[in-house]
Amino acid sequence: MRIRTLPEGQLRLTFPPPVLHPDLARLGVEEVRPLLSAFDSLRPRSPLPLRLLEMPGAVHSNRSSAASWESRLREDFFSLYGPPLLPVPESLETSRLLLALQLSTRYMDDGIREAARELFTAPAFLVSVSLAITVYFAAWLAPEPFFSKGLAAALTVRLALLVGLVELGRVAHACLRLYQEAEAATSPQELEAASERFGRALGGAGLRVLVVVASMGMPQVLPKVPEGGLWTLLSPLRHAPAGGQALESIATAHVVADGSLIATGVAAGTSATSLCGELATCMMTDGEGSASGGGPKLSTRYGKPHTRKNPAHNEAIEEELARREAAGHTGLKKNEAQVNAQNLRVNNPNRQAKPRFRKPDVSSLRPDGIRHNTNYVSNQKDLRRELEAFNAMVQADPKAIHELYLLDGTLVRRHVPTGVSFP
């Protein structure tokens, strides 16, 4: 991502085409249960009286006023995100939108369906999602969405850093389409069809975004969620939320037609590293668009740059090492001579072979004592050479895990020793 400084405390964030981390495609029940326990503090006295529309043209069933627990949620959302930009039913707990959300879990991918069912049977969570759609995601109806409320602005920037601006906009428009089609439905079949379109469009990253936006509007719930719990839903590459305090001063966020995002009120002196968190794959530029210091700032947290000619390769290494450190790995090495689990150098068994030893891009020791080596291929023209290196590393240390990836995250080859578990 490129960050360009503009006058009067503005930053322009330009995002490359998104390549979402594969971990985001799935969401397990165990990841959402701590959050669900927090939502239990706002449990309605009786089950929600949800029912399908009885006939075409039927009027809305939500005639009664909102319950006290729902009123509390509304107050929270409106104070933090601003007033609703779409009509909000008098009682969301019996609305078509809420029912459509429940029905949509039938059509979600296998990797997220069970977690979605757990979430979408929690009344307080469903009402929070409904409010998020009418208050936050409704802003994406504008050709160039503009967020002027502090929380909404900072949240937009943070979500864009974590999943990309394109993915964030895609989730928003799926939510808005569900709202519009649910409101316009005149039969159970039309409501079911709207739910199916939403369920199939959401995806794992989309569900995670939905959870974060809905939860951020409930400050009385957040203290009960384990520290960092919300952001770990969207951040498989780091153990700290992107931006941290660097985002707290953001006043507005404006998504412009060229696909970039302009943030105002950013604290003076904010750096790419402090804004992007530990991922640190951002490049700062000056007001004219040239890179500060004459070129990209390469991450060096885990060692000197792999190569200055290929910043993406270096950043992929740094990201992987950050993820492993967060997972409790030790013996972190960046582009160093291959070693085994005992930290002893291992050479190619063929004494005549050159080079005598290999240098994994990423190497670490898992908590269970298994060495884990990973290499990346930047140019597919080099794939044959990289496969030869992969085979040499496996021969040198068959007791280690070895992986070879393309830079876009595509797995090329993997070796897992017999009896070793690998997620």
Q: Which of 24-28, 218-222, 311-315, 377-381 has the lowest mean pLDDT?
A: 218-222
Residue 248 lies in a domain: no
Task: Calculate mean pLDDT across residues 23-27.
Answer: 86
Residue 248, CA distances (Å) to 223, 235, 239 in order: 18, 18, 19
Do both 80 and 210 map to the same domain?
yes
Per-residue confidence band for 277, with pLDDT thresholds at 50, 70 and 90: low
Tokens 């050709």 locate to: 143
Residue 291 lies in a domain: no
- CA geometry: angle 227, 232, 233, nearest 5 deg: 125
Residue 405 lies in a domain: yes
Task: Calculate mean pLDDT across residues 125-152.
Answer: 91
Tokens standing for residue 222? 């957040």
Is pLDDT above 90 for 248?
no
Those residues whose C-beta lies under 8 Å from the C-beta of residue 110, and which sit 6 or more positions away, are none
Burial 15-32 (b: 16+ CB within 10 A, else e): beeeebbeebeebeeeeb
Calpha distance 375→213 (Å, rounded): 36
Cβ(204)–Cβ(171) under 8 Å?
no
What pTM value is reported for the model?
0.63
Residue 51 lies in a domain: yes
Average pLDDT, the chain: 80
Residue 274 lies in a domain: no
Cβ(321)–Cβ(336) under 8 Å?
no
Calpha distance 102→92 (Å, rounded): 13
For helices 96-104 and 123-135, give the axis angle rounded to 10 degrees.
Answer: 110
Is pLDDT above 70 for 181?
yes
| Domain span at 87 | 2-232
Q: Which has the closest alpha carbon to 299: 282, 286, 274, 284?
A: 282
* pLDDT at residue number 210: 94
* pLDDT at residue number 249: 73
Task: Calculate mean pLDDT across residues 47-64.
Answer: 43
Per-residue confidence band for 349, with pLDDT thresholds at 50, 70 and 90: confident
Count of domains for the chain: 2
Per-residue confidence band for 382, with pLDDT thresholds at 50, 70 and 90: confident
Is pLDDT above 50 for 291?
no
* pLDDT at residue number 267: 56
